[in-house]
Amino acid sequence: MTTARTPVPEAARHLGLRERKKLRTRMAIREATYSLIKEQGYEATTVEQIADRAEVSPSTVFRYFPAKEDIVLTDEYDPLLEELLRQRPADEPVLESLRWAFREAMTTALTDNPAHEREETILRA
């Protein structure tokens, strides 16, 4: 299964086996989606194609992502960003907290998967 070959972000290594497997599945689905969108465009990409490429069933895709749009609008670093924001002092200005949390999350994301930034740039083009 593709999910076994998908690396887990360094920030998630403290998770249990079940959670790491779930994360690998999410990442395999997302990687399959990015690849298909790059090849044929967003509109032409179906959930069935995504499932086939990720080696999961369409129902598994929907179990992890309620809609196709959610695959490209979310990522594994959202919980990390939330955790980082909660660590900031309550009296710190919001923009300063956000700036610090985004910087930390991006550092972690690019350290874990430098290709992630290149793929997202391609999708935005």
DSSP letter for each residue of 66-125: SSHHHHHH--TTHHHHHHHHHHS-TTS-HHHHHHHHHHHHHHHHHHH-HHHHHHHHHHH-
Largest Cα separation within the chain, whole Å, is 49
With a cut of 50, say whether residue 125 has pLDDT above it: no
Band of pLDDT at residue 13, cut at 50, 70 and 90: low
pLDDT at 18: 83
Judged against a pLDDT cut of 70, whether residue 119 lies above it is answered with: no
> Residue 123 pLDDT > 70, yes or no?
no
Pairwise pLDDT comparison (31 vs 15), residue with the higher score: 31
* Amino acid identity at 92: E
Structure tokens at 83: 């955790």
Please report, rounded to a whole number, the percentage of residues in the chain having pLDDT higher than 90.
50
CA distances from 29 to 12, 87, 90 (A): 17, 30, 37
DSSP helix, strand, coil percent of the chain (3-state; round to 5): 75, 0, 25
Domain count, the chain: 1
Which range of residues forms the domain containing residue 49?
Answer: 2-124
Which pLDDT tens digit goes with each residue over 39-66? 999 999 999 999 999 999 999 999 999 9
